[in-house]
Structure 1
Amino acid sequence: MNPGAPANPLLTLIELARRARAAASGNELAFLAVNDTRLLAPYRQAALWFGAGGVHTLSGVVAVEANAPYAQWVGTLCRTLATQHTAGGALAVDPAQLPRDVGVAWSEWLPAFATWVPLRGLRRRDDAQANATANTADAAGLLLAGDAPLSPEQLAVLDEWMDTWQHAWRATHRRSAWSVAALPARLRGWWNGGPQGKRWRRRLGVGLVLLAVLCLPVRLTVLAPGELVPANPATIRAPLDGVIADFAVRPNQMVAAGAPLFSFDQAPIDSRLSVAREALGTAEAEYRQAAQMVLNDPRAKPQLATLLGKIAEKKAQSGFLEGQAQRSRVLAPQAGIVLFDDPSEWIGRPVQTGERIMQVASATDVEIEAWVPIGDAIPLADNAPLHLYLAASPMSPVSGTLRYMSHRATARPDGSYAYRVRARLDAPIDQRIGLKGTAKLAGERVPLVYWMLRRPLASIRQFLAV
């Protein structure tokens, strides 16, 4: 036996096994392998290597510098040895059997003799994120280098020690029954494992199942911004040109039919009405004077027809202005909720005849309005289902059926174009008009693969068309 070997290797083996079982972490076990194994077999340098991650621990070094030339060369050497020796116990390394690019630097980094101990089925804890080839991902080994070769007795004791050490390593790195990090590796092993015939049958079965899933019919759906709007509102427009003086109602206020809504500034209307009435009185006075003159001078009779026409004209002007004075006080045509913006934005603002001021809508006469973008326009059948997920209550969708979809896209305030969609509610709701959300429109059933590729294919088609 080599003089550097321990006096009683069995007792030393038992002591090392006890320390391995008591190790609390993988790093402690790695330190034990590269530094305390010399109690069984003499060596100068040792390296613990894993196929997934490279050199893990070096003897006499606290931390391994992965980019150091020595660590890189040792990693290449260990990978070569793991490829050449896939089974068996500890064995001596012959530099002459190594590739030229590895063996030429042997004398620069290692002593003359080295021993390789293969370790199978071991992985580092971070191997799920390591870049390793499939052939050596599960390989590992312990490299011992010294000035003299190890005897067969030392190799046998070393094999027994490393078998005990591997058991301790597996216990420390025991995998859980289910791990997301290990899932890709498990799937790769299942996909590539087994005999070639069985493997190809498995892949064919997966392909057929995937093809069947892609052909499953699913409902083609699109999402669009939606809102609860009145179904048949009464639109209140400006009955004349003028300036709004005040409002008698507040936004979202309930009003009865005939209730006052707002009024115009009366001063210009009253002024023009007074002028028209004075002009009418003057025309009537001129007519009476001309009628008296006819009694004394029959030649003045033709003037009566002209004066009568003037009186009719002034009466028409006066009646028109009286009608405007009445229309300047706008009343609600029906009972409902008053829908308009902030009153302060309207008071004192000049409006033109026909300009929309507000709407009066029934609280129960509500429907869904959605705007479908041009890229999401899909064929929709009559009475197609529609669901509106309100931002105020996303867990309680409002259901409806399609009433119509406009045939022409309309410009939106944000500059985009979209198709207007209106849908009647399936049941009365207690949500107020004006709430917004996301509408989900359901079209016809299509294969799953078409549902997945519809938008990408449309983008590719537009790109190729350009």
Structure 2
Amino acid sequence: MSAAPHPAVRTVQSLAVLLDLTRRARAAGSVRELAFLAVNDTSQLALLRQGATWRLDMGVDALSGVLQPEANAPYVQWLDRVARQMSTLEASDTGVRAFDRHVVAPDLAEDWSAWWPEHALWVDDPAAPHTEGRLPPPAWLLAREHPWTEDELRLIREWRSAWSHAWMALQPVSPRSLRSAWQRVRQHLAPRADRPWWRQTRLAWAAAVLAVLCLPVRMSVMAPAELVPAQPAVVRAPLDGVIASFHVQPNATVKEGQPLFDFDEALIQGRIAVAQQAVLTTETEYRQAMQQALSDPRSKAQLALLASRIEEKQTEVDFLQDQATRARVLAPRSGVVIFDDPSEWIGKPVGTGERILRIAAPDDREIEAWIPMADAIALPAQAAVKLYLNASPLAPVEGQVRYVAHEAVARPDGGHAYRMRATLTGDTDHRVGLKGTARVQGEWTVLVYWMLRRPLAGLRNSLGL
């Protein structure tokens, strides 16, 4: 039998193992690798049967001999309950506490022999650096059959201290909480006894905030807008009827007098034929009455009535013929045709005066915006307007307010808004119909009013002040 090593030799060997473990901890590339060292390689310092790491926010994080612990496993759940109870006990100065089944709750002690040997060790590091924004290192749970010696506890404490520093250097930074941010602000603004009241930090910050809130800014409002023709020629239906065909397409350029669209003339021609037949019938009755008047004086009284009926029927014929000449609608001026899809109009009955299309000059453009009722502000004469088109958001179209409607009108989206028109102050290549967002400049005010105008208005409407 070989003799037991000398105590001094054992001490040197233990220190060598400790140095090797700390070196491997510093070289670890992740917290998962560190946890593996804690639960598996700590046995090089003190013989272990089982080891585990536990975190308050995650429970059992690592187990010896297992790559990934199963959170729903009975052993892991029992171990988590034991660790939570141990974490509620008063911490020791060294962070190392030996315990057995008599320390835990009776329901946990009943299953102790099924999961663990007789002696266990709770290892924490109360001196671990708690850096703001980083989670504290997990606790260790170690178990074996025989009691722990003082030499082993000292080695484990040193190993745990080095391991904790490696953990704090590797584990990810957690988001800063609002509470910690508020504490830093309070510390920064706390009064200092070595300074007079006019040099206190909180007074300087208050003055700076007040100065910023009093900065002059322009009131402004954002509103949906688009480019529209400024003075378009509106083409309306000259008669009641059905549109038969279009001779132009949307956005086409037309000249004055060019045909735009035609009405279905079948109904008009039918009415003309009926009216002409009525004229012929009335004229025949008039000639018969003239022949009877030669022998019957009483028939002379009907001649004037029949003559007036002939004039009435002839007037109706003339009117219908005039309607027939207007069945083909011509362009009243040269420009670009603005209307919807022609297929939506063909075959659709329209009434006299109904708008069919518009004709605008190529350079006849202006900005039309719809200011929401909640954003209506006082606008000076010729207030500046910038239209940021969706097609070109980096090149705004500039203009000046021409007028703002006095009354809000209903919009297709169901809301109410004030119509605003603005003339362009510069040239633009964008076509009519492009949409975007308009920014309208108002009067000068202070920043605090610009920030609080909408909240105060909402508070007033809610409380009825």
TM-score between the two structures when normalised by the length of structure 2 = 0.71
Equivalent residue for 1:132?
Answer: none
Equivalent residue for 1:381?
Answer: 380
Equivalent residue for 2:77?
Answer: 68
- 1:363 paired with 2:372, answer no
Q: Structure 1 residues 198, 58: closer, same or farther in 2, change over 3 A?
A: farther
2:428 aligned counterpart, secondary structure: coil
CA distance in 2, matches of 1:103, 1:2: 36
- 1:438 paired with 2:447, answer no
- 1:417 paired with 2:425, answer no
CA distance in 1, matches of 2:161, 2:224: 66
Cα distance per residue 1:166-204 (max 9 Å; x no partner): 45445544x7xxx78468798467446689645996667
Moved more, 367-376 or 205-214: 205-214
- 1:118 paired with 2:126, answer yes
Equivalent residue for 2:163?
Answer: 165
Mapping for residues 191-202 of structure 1, pairs under 5 Å: 191=185, 197=191
CA distance in 2, matches of 1:286, 1:365: 59
Moved more, 367-376 or 277-286: 277-286
Q: Structure 1 residues 337, 118: closer, same or farther in 2, change over 3 A?
A: same
Any conservation in 2 of the 1:118–1:142 contact (CA below 8 Å)? no
Any conservation in 2 of the 1:259–1:331 contact (CA below 8 Å)? yes
- Cα offset for 1:366? 1.2
CA distance in 2, matches of 1:189, 1:50: 25
Q: Structure 1 residues 122, 149: closer, same or farther in 2, change over 3 A?
A: same
- Cα offset for 1:365? 0.6
Equivalent residue for 1:17?
Answer: 22
CA distance in 1, matches of 2:186, 2:29: 35
Which amino acid in 2 is paired with 1:436? K
Residue from 30, 35, 38 that aligns with 1:30: 35
CA distance in 2, matches of 1:285, 1:271: 23
CA distance in 2, matches of 1:222, 1:216: 19
Any conservation in 2 of the 1:119–1:166 contact (CA below 8 Å)? no
Equivalent residue for 2:115?
Answer: none
Any conservation in 1 of the 2:380–2:442 contact (CA below 8 Å)? yes
Which amino acid in 2 is paired with 1:36? D
CA distance in 1, matches of 2:298, 2:22: 147
Mapping for residues 173-212 of structure 1, pairs under 5 Å: 173=171, 181=175, 187=181, 190-191=184-185, 197=191
Which amino acid in 1 is paired with 2:28? A
TM-score between the two structures when normalised by the length of structure 1 = 0.71
Equivalent residue for 1:77?
Answer: 86
Cα distance per residue 1:259-294 (max 9 Å; x no partner): 22233344454555566667399769969x97xx99
- Cα offset for 1:428? 2.7
CA distance in 1, matches of 2:330, 2:120: 109
Number of aligned positions between the proteins: 438
C-alpha RMSD over aligned residues: 5.1
Unaligned residue ranges in structure 2 (runs of 5+): 113-117
Unaligned residue ranges in structure 1 (runs of 5+): 96-101, 129-136
- Cα offset for 1:336? 1.0
Cα distance per residue 1:55-114 (max 9 Å; x no partner): 6546677638598354344345346555x64xxxx476599xxxxxx9674994784887
1:418 aligned counterpart, secondary structure: strand
CA distance in 2, matches of 1:318, 1:112: 116
Equivalent residue for 1:228?
Answer: 227
Q: Structure 1 residues 77, 60: closer, same or farther in 2, change over 3 A?
A: farther
Any conservation in 2 of the 1:64–1:71 contact (CA below 8 Å)? no
Which amino acid in 2 is paired with 1:71? D
Which amino acid in 1 is paired with 2:129? G
Any conservation in 1 of the 2:335–2:361 contact (CA below 8 Å)? yes
- Cα offset for 1:222? 3.7
